Structure 1
Amino acid sequence: MEKYKILHIIGGGEIGGAEQHVLTLLENLDRSRFSPYLICLTPGPFAALAEPTIQTQTFAMRHPLDLSLLPGLMRWIRRQDIDLIHTHGSRANLLGRVGAKLLRLPNVTTVHSSLAHDYLSPRSARLALGLDRITLPLTTGIITVSQYLSDEVASRGGKHIKTIYNGQAPVPQADYSFSRNQFRKQWGIPDDALVLGTIGRLHPTKGQIVLIQAAHQLIEKFPKLHLLMIGDGPIRSVLESELKKASLPYTLTGYLPKAYEALPTMDLFVLPSISEGMGLVLLEAMQMGVPIVASAVGGIPEVVRSEQDGLLVTPGNAAELAQACTSILENSGRAKSLVSSGNRRWLEFSIEGMVRATEEVYKSLLS
C-alpha cells in the first residue's frame, strides 16, 4: 500500500481554533497511509507545540505578500518529496497554492473562518479577499468547517467544496467541584460569584465588547456577576479599558493552553461572536455541562440547536444577549435541559469522523 506525504502550511503566529484543528488532524492521521509534515509561516508558539510529534519547519514571512520565500519553500517540498499540500489561512493559501501549482502537486485548502471579518482593518480584509479570489482557482479541493462557510466560499467562485465539521476530543474529566474551586482560588474569583465566561481570541470578530455591554445591564439584577475572559489578542487593552469603565468585576487571564479547565468555574458560557466559522469551544462547554448562550451567526447554529442545546441571539445585540443570559440564570430547570441536550450533542462531532473524512479527500485528490 502506497504511503503519501502530506504537508500542512499555516501562519502559526498564535494558537487558535485553526491551529488546534491542524494539530489534532496531524496527530490522528493514519500513519500507515499518510506521513504528516508542517510548515509555519510566522515564528510563534505553535511550531514548538507541534514539533514533538510532527516534522515541523518555519519559513518566516516578513509581510502578508512576501513571495521571496517561494523558491526556498519549493526546494524544501521537493527534497521532502511531498505528495499533497494542505493550506490554512491567507498567507498559507498564497504560498501553498502558487507553490503547488508550480510543482504540479494537488492541494487542498481548509477554510476555518470568514475572511471578511478576520482582520482589524477593512483594507487588510479587502487585500485578503482579493488574494483569495486570485489564487482560489489554483486549488484542487476545498474543505470548510461549516456549511455556512461552504456557501460563502462558493459565492467567491470556489469549487469542489466539502464540509467537514471540526471534531472534539473528550476533555479530561477532573472532579467538577474541585476544578471550580481551584480555578476560582487561583484567579481570585469569589466563591459566591456568578461567573459569565467566554474563551476566544481577543479580536473584534469575537464580540467580547458586546458581552461587556450585556454584563453592564445584567449586574443590576445580578450584583455578584463576574466576567471571565480567557484568551489574548490585539484588542486586549481596549477590552480592559471598557471593563474598568463599566465598573465590572472581571478576570482577564490571557491565553491558557488548557482553557477547558476553566469551564467548571463558569455558571454560563457565552460566545458573542460577530462572525464564527464553527465555534469548536462550544463543544467543550457542552462536555463540561455549562449552559450556553451564543450568537446565531456563521456555523454556530449548525453546532448549537437553538432552544435545544443553548440559546442563540442576534449578533451585536447586547440587550438580547442580556435577556437570554437572564432567562437561563433565573431558570435552573431550563439550564439543566440545555445542558442535558448539549451533553449528547457534542458526541456527534468526533475526531475520528473528521480525520477519516479528510483522509477520503486526500485519497480522491491523490488518485
Structure 2
Amino acid sequence: MLFLAPLGATLEGFVAPVSRALRPYGLRPVAVAGRGSVPPSLHRSFDAVHEVAPFRRAGLRNLARAGRDLARIVREERVDLLHLHTPYAVAVGRVVAQVTRTPHVAVVHGTLFGAPGRAGQLFSVIETVSARLTPTYVTLNPDDQEIYRRLAPRSRVHYAPCGGAGVDAERLRASGPGEPVGERRPPRVVVMGRLTPDKNFDLAVSAWRVARRSLPDLELRIVGSTSIGEPAWVPPDEPGISAVGWTPEPGVELAAADVVLSTSPREGFGLTVAEALVMGKPVVAVDNRGTRGIAEKVAEGLILVPPRAASISSALLSQLRARTVRIGPGVLESWRQENVVAFHASVILDALARSTGGGRREGRGGAVAAPAETVAAGVGQPEAPPAAR
C-alpha cells in the first residue's frame, strides 16, 4: 500500500508507526512525498520511498506534475490502496485513484472550510463537488466528521481517537524530567509548531507582551523550524523571548513550560495541546475545530479563547495561577500511541477487505489479512458511524 503526504516529515512523524504495525499483515508499505522533503530515516519504516514533484502550495502546474508522477508509481508498485494525508495529498491522490482505479482512504488532518481568501473558497468548492469520490475518511474532530458525513453520505467517515500517531506518553515523560528540585526561574509560556505565518505566532507574541504588563519577568519560549514550501516566520529578537529549532523530544520543552499556548487558527487536532495536557501542563488555545474536539475531553486545564491578544493574555495569567489539569476518564488510554496506531491499521485493513469483497486475498503485493484476523491479533475494529452502517 502507498502512503502519500506533501512532506516527508508528515510521513515520518504520523505515518511511520502505522506502516510498521501493518507489516505483520502481509502489506508492503510504500511512502511518497514531495521532492526534497524526504529524511533518510524514512527508509527504516517503509519498503520503498519515492519522491514526486513538490505539490504543497506549489501551484496547479506542480500539482499536475505530482499527479503524473504518482500515477506512474502506483502502476509500477502495483498499489492496492492509497492512504492520503493533508488536503494537498487528498486533492492529488483522489484524482490518481480515479485514473488508476485504486481504492483510497483520506485522512483529514485539517481543512480550509471557512478560511478567508481564495484558498478557502477554492477548497470548499472542490470538496463540495468531489468529496463523495472518496469511499473512506478518517477525521480528527467531530466538526470535520459531520461535514464529510454531509458531503459524502455514502462514504464511511470515521472519527480517530487522536491526531497523528497518538501520544507516546512514556517517551514524553522520560525525555522531560522537569526542573531540578529547588530551582527558581521566571514563569514560562511555550509555543510549538512550524515557523510559518499560518500558525499565527505574531498573535502569541502580542498576547505575551500584554501579559508582561502584569508579569514583567514572563518568558516566551518558541520551539519550531521552517518547512519546505512554506513562507517563513522569524521570531522577534527582544528580551524575554527565546527561540530554538524543532526537537524530536518535545517532552523536554513541555516539562519546562508553565503554560503551553497554541494560536493556530486552524487545526484538525492539536497534538501539541494533547501532549501538554498529558504532561500535566495547562494550555491556552485559540478556538478552532481541533481544539474544540480536545476540550470536550478535558475537565480542567484547557482554556479556549478567541484570536485576540487581550483574551489570550487574560487566559495565560489565569492558567499561571491555577496550574490544574484534569482529563476525562478513558481519554489518556484512547490517546495512547499503540491504540491510535491500531485504529488506523484496522481502518486500512477494513478498506482493503471491502475493495476485494472481504476475506483473505492475494493482493498485488501478496497475501493480506482481513479485519477479522486483525481483531483476533489484538487490533480492534473502528466503530462505524451511524451514516455508514
**TM-score interval, smaller chain:** 0.7 to 0.9
The residue number in structure 2 matching 1:169 is 168
- Structure 1 residues 342 and 320, CA, compared in 2 at 3 Å: closer, same or farther? farther
The residue number in structure 2 matching 1:105 is 102
CA distance in 1, matches of 2:27, 2:335: 23
Q: 8 Å contact 1:94–1:135 — kept in the other structure? A: no
The residue number in structure 2 matching 1:143 is 138
Following superposition, the deviation at residue 362 of structure 1 comes to 2.5
Q: Match for 1:50: what amino acid?
A: L
- Structure 1 residues 53 and 267, CA, compared in 2 at 3 Å: closer, same or farther? same
- Structure 1 residues 155 and 213, CA, compared in 2 at 3 Å: closer, same or farther? farther
CA distance in 2, matches of 1:343, 1:198: 27
- Structure 1 residues 297 and 68, CA, compared in 2 at 3 Å: closer, same or farther? closer
The residue number in structure 2 matching 1:202 is 195
- Structure 1 residues 236 and 71, CA, compared in 2 at 3 Å: closer, same or farther? closer
The residue number in structure 1 matching 2:282 is 291
The count of aligned residue pairs is 338
Is 1:363 matched with 2:358?
Answer: no
- Structure 1 residues 269 and 235, CA, compared in 2 at 3 Å: closer, same or farther? farther
Could you tell which deviates more after superposition, 213-222 or 18-27? Answer: 18-27
- Structure 1 residues 248 and 214, CA, compared in 2 at 3 Å: closer, same or farther? farther
Show the 5 A alignment for 1:149-298: 149-157=144-152, 159-166=155-162, 167-172=166-171, 173-174=173-174, 180=179, 192-233=185-226, 234=230, 236-237=232-233, 240=235, 243-244=236-237, 248-298=239-289
Q: Matched residue of 1:115: which SS?
A: coil
Is 1:84 matched with 2:81?
Answer: yes
CA distance in 2, matches of 1:344, 1:289: 16
- Structure 1 residues 343 and 57, CA, compared in 2 at 3 Å: closer, same or farther? farther
- Structure 1 residues 117 and 49, CA, compared in 2 at 3 Å: closer, same or farther? farther
Q: 8 Å contact 2:87–2:108 — kept in the other structure? A: no
CA distance in 2, matches of 1:83, 1:235: 36
Q: Match for 2:169: what amino acid?
A: P
Identity %: 22
Any idea what the Cα deviations from partners look like across 1:169-213, whole Å, max 9, x if unmatched?
Answer: 224234755x546xxxxxxxx962211001112334433222222
Query: Which structure has the higher relative contact order (CA within 8 Å, separation 6+)?
Result: 2
Q: Matched residue of 1:299: which SS?
A: helix
Q: 8 Å contact 2:21–2:341 — kept in the other structure? A: yes
Q: TM-score, normalised by structure 1?
A: 0.80
- Structure 1 residues 117 and 40, CA, compared in 2 at 3 Å: closer, same or farther? farther
- Structure 1 residues 106 and 267, CA, compared in 2 at 3 Å: closer, same or farther? same
Unaligned runs of 5+ in 1: 1-5, 182-189
The residue number in structure 2 matching 1:20 is 13
The residue number in structure 1 matching 2:367 is none
Q: 8 Å contact 1:144–1:161 — kept in the other structure? A: yes
Following superposition, the deviation at residue 39 of structure 1 comes to 0.6
- Structure 1 residues 37 and 200, CA, compared in 2 at 3 Å: closer, same or farther? same
Unaligned runs of 5+ in 2: 355-389
Any idea what the Cα deviations from partners look like across 1:228-252, whole Å, max 9, x if unmatched?
Answer: 1111345654x53xx45xx551012
Q: 8 Å contact 2:80–2:103 — kept in the other structure? A: yes
Following superposition, the deviation at residue 43 of structure 1 comes to 1.9
- Structure 1 residues 96 and 288, CA, compared in 2 at 3 Å: closer, same or farther? same
Q: TM-score, normalised by structure 2?
A: 0.76
